[in-house]
Amino acid sequence: MPAYLTAAFYKFVNLPDAEQLRPTVLAVCEQHAVKGLILLATEGINSTIAGPAEGVRAVLAHLRQDPRLADLQHKEAWSQRAPFYRMKVRIKKEIVTLGVRGVSPTHMAGTYVKPQDWNALISDPAVVLVDTRNGYEVGLGSFAGAIDPHIARFADLPQWVANAAALQPTGGRKPKVAMFCTGGIRCEKSTALLRAQGFDEVYHLEGGILKYLETVPPEQSLWQGECFVFDERVSVGHGLQTGPHGLCRACRQPLTAADQASSQFEAGVSCPKCADHTSEAQKNSARERQRQWELAKSRQQVHIGAPSVPRHPLAAVDPAQLGSAASGAA
């Protein structure tokens, strides 16, 4: 049995006392040797944590003692090595940043569509299908016929929505829209955004792409390619089987076999997507960090600065951010 249990979870719920919850939540995690990242905001909670199974379950049990989180759902995964090196509990304005005031998934989210019903919905030619993920994610795979907004971050989506020709009214009526993301959290916000702007028929994939790939047989699937995930697997396919992609530990972009064969690829330092955007001083700093990580690994020691999968890729490399912890699939 693998040694580490990872639990990813989120919930949009009114938590006006989020800041007061932080010290106790952090203490419970530390008490049970659980590491990872928990984001708290007045709009809810978003997290991925990992550790001994009994420790992770103790943290989940503690959170569910709060009546507002009693029905908190989580996804589990197992690993042989520790996914995180630190435990952080942070207070944020939003648990997933959209940057539009007054958008409340608690009251305004679109209609959930179960994975087994998703194909029928998106096969309707009257439905506008929108992939709400960032460009590097869409580049690995998406649903057939989906619109790629070409955004660098989720907070760019409102501007795209405001200008998108596909979302303009026809005959005075706004179109029917279906939206999807990796795990569901971004779609709750994006559909709430559209409803706030007067879209009456807005739908999103319950459980996100991951639930679809887990439950819909490949022969019935309308998914094409791989799905980027925010952990050491980098990408997954049908049945959540680990995909073929690597990860640049510098810019955090997913890499194909061709990328890793490029002369611009150097483990922990650069890849074809970022090599031209970093200075030699930055590359040297990354080389030293990589050397220290490899040395610690050879000694079977934990190196806190070890490269790991972050939540979002960066356009340019800051070597100090190598090894930052990741939160859950969005």
Report how far residue 116's alpha carbon sits from residue 258's, in angstroms, rounded to the nearest whole number.
Answer: 35
Q: Please report which confidence band the pLDDT of residue 173 belongs to, taking 50, 70 and 90 as the band edges.
A: very high
pTM, rounded to two decimals = 0.81
Residue type at 262 in one-letter notation:
S
**Structure token pair of residue 160:** 């795209």
Q: Which amino acid is at 140?
A: L
Determine the average pLDDT of the residues in 223-234.
Answer: 88
Closest Cα partner for 279 from 320, 322, 321, 318? Answer: 318
Q: 156 exposed, middle or buried (CB, 10 Å; 0-12, 13-18, 19+)? A: middle
Distance, in Å, from the CA atom of 222 to the CA atom of 233, rounded to the nearest integer, reads 22
Looking at the chain, the whole-number percentage of residues with pLDDT higher than 70 is: 90
In 10 A of CB 247, how many CB atoms? 22
Q: What digits encode the pLDDT tens for the residues 118-142?
A: 999 999 999 999 999 999 999 999 9
Please give the distance of CA 330 from its chain centroid, rounded to a whole number: 3
**Residues catalogued as catalytic:** 181
Which domains, ranges and CATH numbers included, belong to the chain? Answer: 4-91 (3.30.70.100), 105-225 (3.40.250.10), 246-321 (no CATH)
Residue 11: the pLDDT is 95
| List of residues 6+ apart from 57 with CB closer than 8 A | 5
Evaluate if residue 314 carries a pLDDT over 70.
no
Distances in Å between the Cα of 224 and the Cα atoms of 131, 154, 283, 286, 329 are 13, 22, 35, 35, 19
pLDDT digit string (tens) for 190-199? 999 999 999 9
Cα 154 to the center of its chain, rounded Å: 11
Are the beta carbons of 228 and 181 closer than 8 angstroms? no
